[in-house]
Amino acid sequence: MRLVLLGPPGVGKGTQGKRLSEANGWPLISTGEMLRESVSQGSSLGRVAQALMDQGLLVSDDVMIGLVEERTNEADAKNGFILDGFPRTVPQADALEGILRERGQVLNAVLSLSAPADEVVRRMLSRGRSDDLEATVRKRLKVYDEQTAPLIEYYRRLGRLFEVDGLGTMDEVHAGLCRALAGAASA
């Protein structure tokens, strides 16, 4: 299956994505992780990305679309993948539709994890990443509300949205995602 994990920063997409990936054998493609690797390698993309990430801003659509187009074309993603952190804007979602259509593929489901803002802020402040300082966290949530949250409606209209409660224990959220996946598989 080709899946997108959607939701605000700090909701648990990375943790849950890893678990879904291990359970099903589809690679987890995290665009934030890809950017953090570029930063640690000191590449030119890494230098541009770091400045934006530290301010809680998004890297350009063109760059991100190029990264995802390449990564989803690799051999391990042939039978499915889980995207975490992409798409984050309507142009990215449109591009993903186009990329898959050209390959004769479709996005099977968008699993949308939700949790109240106070809870995601608390979770982010406790994990201590360099872009997890309070001012940056607030900025990232604002960017999420403005640029990414519209994707919930976008995918609802396409009939691909499956909503899952992101509150609760890791096991409860995982079970919710598995139920949504079963629903998507039989849709």
Positions touching ligand AMP (CB under 6 A) are 9, 31-32, 35, 52-53, 56-59, 64, 85-86, 88, 92, 131, 140
CA 117-119-121 angle, 5° bins = 70
Least Å distance, CB 51 to ligand AMP, is: 10
> Is 100 within 8 Å of 78 (Cβ atoms)?
no
Give the nearer residue to ligand AMP in terms of CB position, either 51 or 185.
Answer: 51
Sign of the torsion angle spanned by Cα atoms 6, 10, 15, 16 = negative
Nearer to ligand AMP, 27 or 56 (CB): 56
Nearer to ligand AMP, 151 or 173 (CB): 151
Give the nearest distance from C-beta 100 to ligand AMP in angstroms.
16
56-79 CB burial, b ≥16 within 10 A, e <16: bebbebebbbebbeebbeeeebee
Residue 141 vs 182, nearer CB to ligand AMP: 141
Q: Which position's Cβ is nearest ligand AMP?
A: 32
Cα gap 144→57, rounded to integer Å: 10
Provide the minimum distance between the beta carbon of 94 and ligand AMP in the complex, in angstroms, as a whole number: 13
Which residue type sits at 24? Answer: N
How many angstroms separate the CA atoms of 85 and 8, rounded?
Answer: 9
Residue number, 9 or 176, with CB nearest to ligand AMP: 9
Residue 73 is encoded by which pair of tokens? 């074309």
Shortest Cβ 124–ligand AMP spacing (Å): 9
Min dist CB 185 to ligand AMP, Å, is 26
CB 52, CB 59: distance < 8 Å: yes
